[in-house]
Structure 1
Amino acid sequence: MNIGVIGAGNVGRALGNAFQVAGHRVVYGVRNPESSRYQDLRESGNTQLTNIEKAVRDTAVTLLAVPWQAVKETVELIPDWDGKILIDCTNPIKLDFSGLDFEQGLSGAEQIAIWANGARVVKCFNQTGADNMVHPHYETSKTLMFAAGDEQEALETAIKLAREIGFNAVSAGKLHISRQLEELAWLWIHLAIKEGWGTSFAFALMKR
């Protein structure tokens, strides 16, 4: 599958590398592909780097991995997503890093579904850090990854992709549950950074 990754920061690169290892073709989309920040990606023999519009146009599934403050402007670069699957990997973190910003009571994913005209939005890959995206396997379990979305095919696609790169991926339900997934992400961030746990831990799912 051709997968577009919008954003080439820690999360975008971790997911992009994981999907390449799983056998997918990854196209990174960034605002300025000629920037020195992306020299390593340009020199990579198996990675394509281009602008955001082309990355979306040339791929079947798009992962959104940019800072929250850049999300609206980024998704609105595409006037019509024309039914493409857009997997939202972001969290609506406030600029002062004091918590999450739920405008008008909506989750970040629900806001993206409004801004990204015609996209089939799924929330996934937001609930843990980049280190766990590189190494989702722990000694006794796999890192848990929930996905939420209103459109079944898009939801199943996100779950399948997450499982391919090593997550224990399960559906959490419709897109409105994304708020809880973003709060779960904030708990992970709080523990990792504010409580000093570091990034070498993950949430897991156990069933009797």
Structure 2
Amino acid sequence: MSYAIVGFGTVGQALARSFSRSGFEVAVASTRPAKAIEPTAWVIGPGIVAKSLEDALSAEVVLLAVPFWAHRDVAKAVASWQGKIVIDVTNAYGVPLPDLDNLPSSAAVAKAFPGAHLVKAFNHLPAGVLAQEPSTDGGRRVIFLSGDHEGAMTTVATLVEQLGYAPVSLGKLAEGGQLVQARDTRWAPLIFQDLFKKAA
């Protein structure tokens, strides 16, 4: 499985550190040229490979860590999203509900990626927390995920486990997924909840 993180701000870099800690190779890209982010990528780890946006989007799994409305520009950067998994790490805080067609934010994002299977994950923790070790005191930091495609949910849950976190499924985007999606000027109740799952 190939992975890419699109967006290389504080959240994108925190995700890259998670991949580096686990020995995973991941492409990273932003709206800047690859050479502009290459030094930061190299500092994080040798498996963090700076690429152009177009090259990064050839990955099978794309983590979307851009400001909310920038997802539309990412979606237009490739001809087809058919069969890809998009992990939506964005938050739509401050976006009026009518601008989302009164949909959950991830459902609005999914409309821009026809053919892709979208899973909401990694968005509920601030970048500073996401950059920390995922395990402590015999427990693992929880990552909530929601999505409408069972196979994609399984793939993302496996990735979450491999990165050292404990995946907790909230079900479909329009159901449990609402618990981690900002709406207008309100944060959903599970956003910012830094929870740990104890080992059995």
TM-score range, shorter chain: 0.7 to 0.9
In 1: Cα distance, 2:181 partner to 2:131 partner: 20
In 1: Cα distance, 2:147 partner to 2:169 partner: 8
For the residue of structure 1 that corresponds to 2:159, the secondary structure is helix
Quote the residue 1:9 is aligned against.
9
CA deviation map 1:74-120 (0-9, x unaligned)? 222223101101000111122xxxxx543222112101110112111
CA deviation map 1:1-26 (0-9, x unaligned)? 32100011111111112113212211
In 2: Cα distance, 1:189 partner to 1:32 partner: 32
Quote the residue 2:142 is aligned against.
144
| 1:144 Cα deviation after fit | 2.0
Q: 1:89 and 2:89 equivalent?
A: yes
Contact 1:65/1:89, CA 8 A, preserved across alignment: yes
| 1:151 Cα deviation after fit | 1.0
For the residue of structure 2 that corresponds to 1:81, the secondary structure is coil
Q: How many residues align?
A: 191
TM-score (norm 2): 0.82
The residue type equivalent to 1:164 in the other structure is Q
CA deviation map 1:3-53 (0-9, x unaligned)? 100011111111112113212211012222256455322676432212222
In 2: Cα distance, 1:140 partner to 1:47 partner: 28
| 1:149 Cα deviation after fit | 1.0
In 1: Cα distance, 2:30 partner to 2:118 partner: 20
Q: 1:202 and 2:194 equivalent?
A: yes
In 2: Cα distance, 1:11 partner to 1:101 partner: 23
Hey, which of these two has a bigger chunk of helix by percent?
1
- Unpaired segments of 5 or more residues in structure 1? 95-99, 192-200
- Unpaired segments of 5 or more residues in structure 2? none
Contact 1:2/1:26, CA 8 A, preserved across alignment: yes
Identical counterparts, % of pairs:
27
TM-score (norm 1): 0.79
Q: 1:127 and 2:124 equivalent?
A: yes
RMSD: 2.8
